[in-house]
Amino acid sequence: MQANHPCSSSPTPGGLWLPLVTPFRDGVLDEASLRRLVRHYAAREIDGLILAATTGEGMTLDEAEVERLVAITTGEMVVAGRRLPLFLGISGSDTRKVVKALEHSAAWPIDGYLVTCPYYTRPSQEGMIRHFSALAESTALPMMIYNIPYRTGVNLGNAAMLELAARPTIVGVKDCSADMAQSLDLLRHKPPGFAVLTGEDALFHTMLAGGADGGITASAHVGTGAFAAVHRLLRQGDASGALTAWHAIADLPRLLFTEPSPAPIKHWLWRAGLIDSPEVRLPMVPVSDGLAGRIDRELERLRATGLDGAGR
Q: Determine contact, residues 310/269, Cβ cutoff 8 Å.
A: yes
Sequence-ordered strand ranges (E) for the chain: 15-19, 24-25, 28-29, 48-51, 86-90, 112-116, 143-147, 170-175, 195-198, 214-216
41, 113, 174, 190: which is the annotated catalytic residue?
174
Q: What does pLDDT average to over the chain?
A: 94
- Say if residue 55 carries a ligand binding annotation: yes
Among the residue ranges 6-15, 85-94, 173-182, the one predicted with the least confidence is 6-15
41, 113, 146, 266: which is the annotated catalytic residue?
146
User: In this predicted model, what pLDDT tens digit does every residue of 244-258 receive, in sequence order?
Assistant: 999 999 999 999 999
User: Whose CA is closest to 226, among 244, 203, 199?
Assistant: 244
> Cα angle vertex 242, ends 236, 246, to 5°?
150
User: In this predicted model, what pLDDT tens digit does every residue of 258-294 receive, in sequence order?
Assistant: 999 999 999 999 999 999 999 999 999 999 999 999 9
DSSP 17-80: EEE----EETTEE-HHHHHHHHHHHHTSS--EEEESSTTTTGGG--HHHHHHHHHHHHHHHHHH
* 3-class SS of residue 212: coil
Cα 277 to the chain's mean position, in Å? 21
Is a pLDDT exceeding 80 seen at residue 4?
A: no
Q: Determine contact, residues 269/275, Cβ cutoff 8 Å.
A: yes
Is a pLDDT exceeding 70 seen at residue 297?
A: yes
CA terminus-to-terminus distance, the chain: 33
User: In this predicted model, what pLDDT tens digit does every residue of 56-70 receive, in sequence order?
Assistant: 999 999 999 999 999
What is the pLDDT confidence band of residue 3, given thresholds at 50, 70 and 90? Answer: very low
At position 217, the amino acid (one-letter code) is T
150 noted as active-site residue = no
174 noted as active-site residue = yes
Q: Determine contact, residues 252/86, Cβ cutoff 8 Å.
A: no
Q: Determine contact, residues 208/215, Cβ cutoff 8 Å.
A: yes
User: In this predicted model, what pLDDT tens digit does every residue of 113-171 receive, in sequence order?
Assistant: 999 999 999 999 999 999 999 999 999 999 999 999 999 999 999 999 999 999 999 99
At position 5, the amino acid (one-letter code) is H
Residue 187's H or E segment, with its range, is helix 180-189
Domains along the sequence of the chain with CATH: 15-247 (3.20.20.70)
Q: Determine contact, residues 147/156, Cβ cutoff 8 Å.
A: yes
Is a pLDDT exceeding 50 seen at residue 9?
A: no
CA distance 182 to 277: 39
Backbone phi, psi, residue 215, to 5°: -150, 150
User: Whose CA is closest to 20, among 64, 52, 59?
Assistant: 52
Q: What percent of the chain has pLDDT over 70?
A: 94
The reported pLDDT for the residue numbered 76 is 98
Rg of the Cα atoms in the chain: 18
- Say if residue 216 carries a ligand binding annotation: yes
The mean per-residue pLDDT over the stretch 229-244 comes to 97
User: Whose CA is closest to 76, among 49, 104, 54?
Assistant: 49
CA distance 215 to 201: 8
The reported pLDDT for the residue numbered 303 is 81
pTM to 2 decimals?
Answer: 0.95
Count H helices and E strands in the chain, helices first. Answer: 13, 10
What is the pLDDT confidence band of residue 305, given thresholds at 50, 70 and 90? Answer: confident
